[in-house]
Each structure stands twice: as C-alpha cells, then as structure tokens.
Structure 1
Amino acid sequence: MPTNSVVLQGSGADVDGTIKSYAWSQVSGPGTAVLSGASTSALTASSLAEGSYVFALTVTDNQDAVSTPDQVTVTVNPAPAVTYTLTTTASPGAGGTVGRSPNATSYASGSVVSLTATPAAGYVFSGWSGDATGTTNPLSVTMSANKSITATFTQMPPTTFTLTTTASPTVGGSISRTPNATSYASGTVVSLTATPAAGYTFTGWSGDATGTVNPLSVTMSANKSITATFTATGGGAQM
C-alpha cells in the first residue's frame, strides 16, 4: 500500500498443440480483490487490502487438456504511517508561552493536539494566527497537514498611575494627600485636602477634578493632574 492493484502475467506452452484458454482464480486471501481479465493471460487484481493473496492460473490446450494450477502469492504490506509537524510560536517572545498536549515532534494524521496560550506577567492573550484563527484557548488542532500556529500576546496598559497636584497661586495654600505616594495602583482612592494660607480661601478644583468638595476623594484610573485654586481674601496680604 498505497498501491492496491497488481497485474499478473501468465503464459502456457503445448509441445504438440496450442493454448486455447486461460483461467485465473483466487485461492485464498482477503475477499476484497476484484479480478479483471481472468480469462486472459494477464490478470489485473484490484481493490487489494493489507494481507496475503494466492492466485492460480490454469491453461487449456486445443485438445481440452487442463494444466495443473500454477499459484502465485501476492503480499500487500500496510500503508506507511503519515505524520505531520506542528510549529508553534509566541509573538512577541516575551509575551508568553504556547503549551501542547500531547507534546511531540510529529503527529499521526488525524491526531488532535490541544494548544494552550499562557501570557507572561503584564500581557494578555489576544488570538491565534497562521494555520489557526480566533481566540479559543485552549485550542484543539486536528493534524491533517504540517501546520504553523502563532499565539499573539498584547502588553497590558500600566496598572499604576501618577497624581500631580498644584496650588494656584503657590502662595495661596497647600494640598496634602492620603495616602502619600509617587504612584498608585489602579482603583486606589486618594484623599486630597486643600489648606489655604493666611489671607486666602479655597475656591475649587480644576484639571482632572471639579467642584469645591474638600477633602476630595480621587479614584485612580489614569494619570491625573489636579489643581486647587485659592483666592485672596480682603484682609490678607497679596503677592
């Protein structure tokens, strides 16, 4: 196999006459064989399956004498196993890994391989490309050819944010924060308190905050810049 047919060429001789007819038959073996030309010197046996076949030829001369059957054995070997390779790639390389189950260098035709994309810290899996598409994870791949599949990972946006605060004018007062840090994890709530200097009054927030609530609660969902505005009162010194 994969060849599943054979042509058998027979012959006969008669020292005192001529050969009148040929007759091929199957003696043993799988019952799949289809015989063509069984009454000629050349037999075609097709639809052969894995196994051993025995065919016999007899010839008849012009005086109707029949020869002793002459047998021939045909052995059909199993078809060689068909295997395929699977190449997997992570893009970018630092973005994550691609695991496979079962893990092998090649796979028999029809094998189902499960691919799992695992993102590295700071990345998310965003999809398959090459000989696969979509975002299903794990992904089942049926091996019907050599395949190359890429897992794409996308870097996540920063999960910490900065908060810049400004007093306007700078001599008008100060802004304190709780907790006091240079950056904040996403979702952190920071309390800002505007404290006016002598001769000034706090009049409101601007930038990434509005209103006059004081203290002000700020939820960190992005880098933010907030200004506290102070206004001189009639009885205070102005600069």
Structure 2
Amino acid sequence: GGTTLPKPGKYTYGENTVVTLKAPPAAGSLFDHWGGADGASVSSANTIVMNGNKSVKAVFSKLTYPLNITVNPEGTGTVTPELVIKAGKDYEHGQTVRLTATPTTAGYLFTDWGGDLSGSENPAELLIDSAKSVTANFAEAKMEIVTQPAASIAGQTLGGFPTVKVTTKADGTPIPNVAINVTEK
C-alpha cells in the first residue's frame, strides 16, 4: 500500500491544467503503476493534463525478496521452507518462513544455522524484510556408547534388562529409539 498526493478525493482544475501526481509507498511496498479509467493518461513524469474529467488510481505491490538456502557440507541434508503466512515464489516483505533442516546422509545430524539465521533451533523461523541467505550446517554424528552400569561387562551374563544409552559426542543428547544387537562371539 501507500498514499497519494493529492490525497484521494474529487478535485476541480482549470482546463488543460497539468497536475503532478505522487504515490509514496508504505514500508514493504513499492509503487507499481497508475491504474483506473485514465491511468494510461499519466505521463512517465507522473503528470496528467486535465482536458476532461479524469479518474486515476495508484497501484502498489509488495516488495519481494529471494531466499537462498545452502546445505553444508553439500549433499548431507535438505532444508524445507514453509510459509507461515502466504505462498509465492519470492517472499513478500513481512512474511515469515519456517525452515526445517533434515539430514539425508546416514550418520549426519543438523548442528546450526548460518548466514541470516543463527542458532540451532530446528525448525526455525525467519522474517523476510530483505534478500536473505541461510546455510543449514550438518556434521557427522560421532557416536559414543555408554553402558550402565559403567563397569566393563565383556564376558559376563547380565540379568534383567541392562540400560544402554547412545549419545552424540557433539552435544550429549540421547538418540531415541536406538536398537543394539548383541551377538555371540
């Protein structure tokens, strides 16, 4: 959106008077063109000659910006953008995009965002107020198996249901639903 000068309304001008029109856009918008019944009569200098009744309308459009997404290292994951507001090829000024990073290579995990988005929250939301570039960083998951009880259990028979916790060395977060296969040697 935006405003017009003169402001919207009906005005009386003398015959052949040249009227200058202005259409300052609001934040996040841009002036696109003059429309209405006589929009084509407005010159490139934004003037119109009053040689009869005229009706013009200022047409504004939303600013749009590209969102460039990369994955680091390349090929280890994907990032899915999802609009929190409405869809489009480029993103309109003021839209919020929810980005979800998903590892696609076995043994890799999402670590953090880079570029115009920071932190490790996943999914994460990004406000589009200019052209943006975001990198989703992935790293090889270094596994560490911790047995409980911590003492060595090699060669022993365990009773009950021993607990095995699998974590990543990077952040110590337990990995859920891990199956451990025990075989006889």
Normalised TM-score (structure 2): 0.51
| Structure with a larger share of its residues in strand | 1
Q: CA deviation at 1:46?
A: 5.0
1:142 corresponds, among 104, 127, 136, to 127
The one-letter amino acid paired with 1:140 is: E
Q: CA deviation at 1:134?
A: 1.4
Q: Distance in 2 between matches of 1:84 and 1:157?
A: 38
Higher relative contact order (CA 8 A, sep 6+): 2
Q: CA deviation at 1:140?
A: 0.9
1:79 is paired with a residue of what secondary structure? strand
Give CA-to-partner distance per residue, 1:168-217, whole Å, 9 cap, x none. xxxxxxxxxxxxxxxxx553853358xxxxxxxxxxxxxxxxxxxxxxxx
Corresponding position of 1:155: 140
Corresponding position of 1:14: none
Corresponding position of 1:127: 112
Give the direction of change, closer, same or farther, for the CA distance of 1:73–1:106 in structure 2 (3 Å limit).
Answer: same
Q: Distance in 1 between matches of 2:24 and 2:136?
A: 45
Q: CA RMSD in A?
A: 4.3
- Report the count of equivalent residues: 131
Give the direction of change, closer, same or farther, for the CA distance of 1:99–1:52 in structure 2 (3 Å limit).
Answer: closer
Corresponding position of 1:201: none
Corresponding position of 1:79: 60
- The gaps in structure 2 that reach 5 residues or longer are 26-33, 39-49, 157-163, 167-185
Q: CA deviation at 1:158?
A: 3.8
Considering only CA atoms, is the larger Rg found in Structure 1 or Structure 2? 1
The 5 Å alignment of 1:106-117 reads 106-117=90-101
The one-letter amino acid paired with 1:190 is: I
The yes-or-no answer on 1:100 pairing with 2:81 is yes
- The gaps in structure 1 that reach 5 residues or longer are 7-28, 55-68, 160-184, 194-218, 222-239
Is the 2:23–2:58 contact (alpha carbons within 8 Å) kept by the matching residues of 1?
no
Give CA-to-partner distance per residue, 1:123-175, whole Å, 9 cap, x none. 2222111111112221111222221100111212144xxxxxxxxxxxxxxxx
Normalised TM-score (structure 1): 0.41
The 5 Å alignment of 1:30-109 reads 30-31=8-9, 43-44=19-20, 71-102=52-83, 105-109=89-93
> Identity of paired residues, percent?
27
The 5 Å alignment of 1:149-188 reads 149-159=134-144, 186-187=146-147
